[in-house]
Amino acid sequence: MKPSTRKIYWISAILILIFNLGLHAQQPKSSLGTLKQIDAGALNIGYTEAGPSSGTPVILLHGWPYDIHSYEEVVPILTAKGYRVITPYLRGFGTTRFLSDKTMRNGQQSAIAMDIINLMDSLKIDKAIVGGFDWGARTADVMAALWPDRVKGLVSVSGYLITNLDSNKNPLPPAAESGWWYQYYFSTDRGEKGYKENTYEFNKLIWKTASSLWNFDKSTYDQTAQSFNNPDHVAIVIHNYRWRLSLAKGETKYDELEKKLSTRPVITVPSITISSDFDEAAIDGKAYANKFTGKYSHKILKGIGHNVPQEDPKSFAEAIFEVDGYSK
């Protein structure tokens, strides 16, 4: 190789190295871990996994209108202690997809809980600590109530959220009803059309009202808003809220599970419930304390809205550590 050619070669190699280093710096690995896909029941579920494969499994479940990024700061706290952390996109969110176009786009509580049991089966996880908020808390509660042998410990924001369809037919006082305005909006054709056409702004409004003191920025919201582009998102959300008000039917294959849930079963696994400003009059947890019959405690976080793991990741992670200790 001629000296001039050799010089050009090394200059090119250095430039390529500098470019690659810069590209890597712009695209850091997510603290959530590696994004993966796996077939589980009726779905191909998108999920992130972080931490040692030999660690105690922890499954973190998001709500609506949120996604796995609610746990972006929780996950590294858990993995630093040796936990294996799985954070799945629920049906209708992110990269999770139905395997068949013929499957009903069902948002009822037992269907979503079964999704996570199926995910555990696919990942060969016998037992896990399960934590969540909003839809994720309801899903975790259902799992603990129906499959206690699969749940090592439970962390549930806003407490006992298992839906009882008969109870939901009873009206609340006007002030309480006003907080659920979107459920009634979703019950109409106008609401479904409005949500489909304005998903981004609609969900941003929910973030602001559910966490009035949380000053999230545009990039934080946009990171999650991408998950709402899922082709089944609108159908799942609309069905979820219509089903809760007995305005839409579920699937008959879940009837037996829903029958068990209608009895408002107690949760026997070690549990911690968390309340925030969002819970208002129910912040003390007394309304549902008797639904947890295993080792149990209740935490109150002031100045925090509904998205507890993203607004106060340290407190949420500490609840996972604490409930793990309950079962030892």
pLDDT computed for residue 15 by the predictor: 38
Give the pLDDT band of residue 17 (cuts 50, 70, 90): very low
Indicate if the pLDDT at residue 89 is higher than 50.
yes
Task: Identify the helix (H) or strand (E) that includes residue 35.
Answer: strand 34-40
Percent of the chain, pLDDT > 70? 91
Q: Could you tell me if 47 and 34 are in contact, meaning their C-beta atoms sit under 8 angstroms apart?
A: no
What mean pLDDT comes out for the span 187-216? Answer: 98
Mean pLDDT within 297-302: 98
Q: Is the pLDDT of residue 177 over 50?
A: yes
pLDDT at 125 over 60: yes
Q: What is the mean pLDDT of residues 33-61?
A: 98
Three-state SS sequence of 72-106: CCHHHHHHCCCCEEEEECCCCCCCCEECCCCCCCC
Q: Has residue 7 got a pLDDT over 70?
A: no
Look at residue 328 in the predicted model and tell me its pLDDT. 72
Residue 189 has pLDDT above 90, yes or no: yes
Q: How many CB atoms sit inside 10 A of residue 95's CB?
A: 17
The residues that bridge with 98 in the sheet, in sequence order, are 43
As given in the structure block, the two tokens for residue 195 are 């949500």
pLDDT attached to residue 30: 75
Rounded alpha-carbon distances, angstroms, from residue 323 to 4, 82, 216, 320: 67, 15, 29, 5
In contact, 319 and 71? CB cutoff 8 Å: no
> Is residue 40 helix, strand or coil?
strand
Query: Is the pLDDT at 25 greater than 50, yes or no?
Result: no
- Which pLDDT does position 247 carry in this prediction? 97
What is the pLDDT at residue 232? 98
In order, the DSSP letters of 170-237 are SPPPHHHHHTTHHHHHHTSHHHHHHHHHSHHHHHHHHHHHHSTT----HHHHHHHHGGGGSTTHHHHH
Amino acid at 299: K
CB burial string 165-201: b at 16+ within 10 A, e below: beeeeeeeeeeeeeeeebbeebbeeebbeebeeebee
Q: Is the pLDDT of residue 310 over 90?
A: yes
- Please work out, in degrees rounded to the nearest 5, the angle formed at the alpha carbon of residue 272 by the alpha carbons of 268 and 278: 125
**Stretch 51-59: mean pLDDT:** 98
